[in-house]
Amino acid sequence: MSDPSRTPQEQLLHAAVEHFAEHGVADRSLRAIATALGTSHRMLIYHFGSREGLLVEVVAAVEAGQRETLAALVAEPDADPSDVVTRFWSTVTAAAHRYGPLFFELSAHAMQGRPHAVRLRETLVDPWLEPLADVFERAGTDRATARVRARLGLGVARGLLHDALVTGDTAGADAAMASFVDLVLPSKKDTR
């Protein structure tokens, strides 16, 4: 069912995100993806340029959704920063089981400078730094240190997600994240 508040491109992107969440990406052609989405490959090319362009947009949409989730958690007025990070980690790890392999594959494409993934150089790190710095600042860290810890936290989270996806040891990654949170964001409950 189409949503009149979304453009045709947004509708196709939403359908692709949902489809990949349920079925994975695999090595299907753009034609096979188009058929699964109920559209033509020409429409996907028109809106996204290529199969890889579509996949980059899917990753960007998932990342934007995750930043919205973080913003909602941070917006809770009395939220303990360590609880915010712990709850957010749970959300991210659930999504990583569906989107993680695609995320890391396309991140590698961005590192290699492939044209279809250049946009990810702008969207995979910088948009995260300010919202994550807000969490650290809320915990009492000065802004400059909060920005450094935001980058550190993002790197730790991405590394642990990679670890969990490669090894299948989600419990181990969860324990490591809990330890990291204890190191950099002592709970307000611990200081009372």
Residue 163 has, within 13 A of its CA and on its CB side, a CA count of 15
| 141: helix, strand or coil | coil
> What CATH number labels 1-49?
1.10.10.60
* Whether pLDDT at 72 is above 50: yes
Q: How far is CA 159 from CA 119, 154, 184, 191, in A?
A: 21, 8, 17, 29
- Is 165:100 a contact under the CB 8 Å cutoff? yes
Domain boundaries, the chain: 1-49, 52-191
Q: Which residue did the predictor score with more confidence, 26 or 23?
A: 23
Distance CA 47, CA 13 (A): 9
Residue 182 has, within 13 A of its CA and on its CB side, a CA count of 7
Q: What superfamily would CATH give domain 52-191?
A: Tetracycline Repressor, domain 2 (1.10.357.10)
Mean pLDDT, the chain, rounded, equals: 89
Torsion (CA) 107, 109, 114, 116 in degrees, nearest 10: -60
Report the percent of the chain where pLDDT is more than 90. 61
pTM for the structure as a whole: 0.84
**How does pLDDT run across 80-138, given as a tens digit for each residue?**
999 999 999 999 998 888 888 888 988 888 899 988 888 888 889 999 999 999 999 99
What count of other Cβ atoms lies within 10 Å of the Cβ of residue 143? 11
